[in-house]
Amino acid sequence: MQANTQKHKISYRNTTVCRDRDGGFMQQYSIKSDPGETSHCSIVSQTEDGYIIRICRDRDGYKKVHEVHIHQSLFDLCRRTGFITAVRQNTDAVA
């Protein structure tokens, strides 16, 4: 018997894709991380009980990207405690 090991392809029932006006992800968040590591996440879609988020980590030049499901209550807790903070998006771009 062979296990299904497809990476980066997540399918959930009753999901709503969260996009901004430009087709990008709804909101980006900075993740509190170790010194020398940069981590951030963005909401990819919303489910009945939470979100699908894409997590991007850069540690000493090694980049890792993956998508996970996080329950609404855990996401809210991470925001309240400051583990993740919303990143201000630059809307004053110069052409």
pTM over the 0.75 mark: no
Put residue 49 in one of left, alpha, beta given phi > 0 → left and psi -120 to 50 → alpha.
Answer: alpha
Q: Measured over all CA atoms, what is the biggest interatomic distance in the chain, rounded to whole angstroms?
A: 56
Choose among 46, 32, 33: nearest CA to 81.
32
Output the pLDDT for position 38.
Answer: 87
For the chain, domain boundaries: 20-86
For the chain, give percent helix, strand, coil, nearest 5.
Answer: 10, 45, 45
Tens-level pLDDT at each residue, the chain (95 residues) = 444 433 333 344 444 445 555 555 568 899 998 887 888 899 988 899 999 999 999 888 888 999 999 999 999 999 999 999 998 765 554 54
Output the pLDDT for position 71.
Answer: 96
Output the pLDDT for position 52.
Answer: 92
